[in-house]
Structure 1
Amino acid sequence: MFEYVLKLAIMLPAIGLLAWGCLKLAKKMQDRVGAPVQGKSARIIETTMLSPSLKLAVIEFHGREILVSASRTGLTRLAEAPARASAEGLDR
């Protein structure tokens, strides 16, 4: 019985630390992936879910903002406009 309690006292904090470490690593990797990268010409400005299978997205590409709909069948360009100055300050 004592061995069981000793194993539990050792393994429970070890599993907790392992889970905490995995969460910290996932957060660090997510921040690295979401960071803006120099040299990329396309950037997602904003997205909106319309339904489970349909999403609207505003993509900045070479100084233009392009509104696209994304569905299971693919992307469709809906509109295009010059990039707004306020969109330059957004970091997504």
Structure 2
Amino acid sequence: MMTAYILKLIVLVPLVAGLAFGALWLWRKAQGGMSFGQRERAVKLVDALPLGATGRLAVVEFGGKHLLVAVSRAGVQLVSESPAEAGANG
């Protein structure tokens, strides 16, 4: 009686763990809007620097420009912009 229980446990625990791992892997792959292939993005995060507990500076590439934005709980503000260098970071 106890042997059958242990055998079921030995088989089912790795099976459930494998299913959980597979579901998490699939969920991570589907995060990009349910498109399983790589697609070209219009906005790219180039770099980010934390400022304190809730703020950060981020460089975002968009439309051939690098935009320096300040991100905080109050919102997002454009600090500066410059042309993106050809071939940089990507």
Bin the TM-score by the shorter chain: 0.7 to 0.9
Q: What is the CA distance between 1:71 and its match in structure 2?
A: 0.5
* TM-score (normalizing by structure 2): 0.72
Query: Any idea what the Cα deviations from partners look like across 1:23-64, whole Å, max 9, x if unmatched?
Result: 43244335768x4526x3x33222222223011111122222
TM-score (norm 1): 0.71
Provide runs of 4+ in structure 1 moved above 2 Å: 26-33, 35-38
Deviation of 1:75 (Å): 0.5
Q: Distance in 1 between matches of 2:4 and 2:12?
A: 12
Helix, strand or coil for the counterpart of 1:86? coil
**Which structure has more RCO (C-alpha within 8 Å, separation ≥ 6)?**
1
Q: Show structure 1 runs of 5+ residues with no match.
A: none
Counterpart in the other structure of 1:81: 82
When residues 70 and 29 of structure 1 are mapped into structure 2, their CA distance, relative to the original with a 3 A threshold, is same
* Corresponding residue number in structure 2 for 1:55: 56
Unaligned runs of 5+ in 2: none
SS at match of 1:60: strand
Equivalent residue of 1:85, what SS?
Answer: coil
Higher percent of residues as helix: 1
Please state if 1:21 is matched with 2:33: no
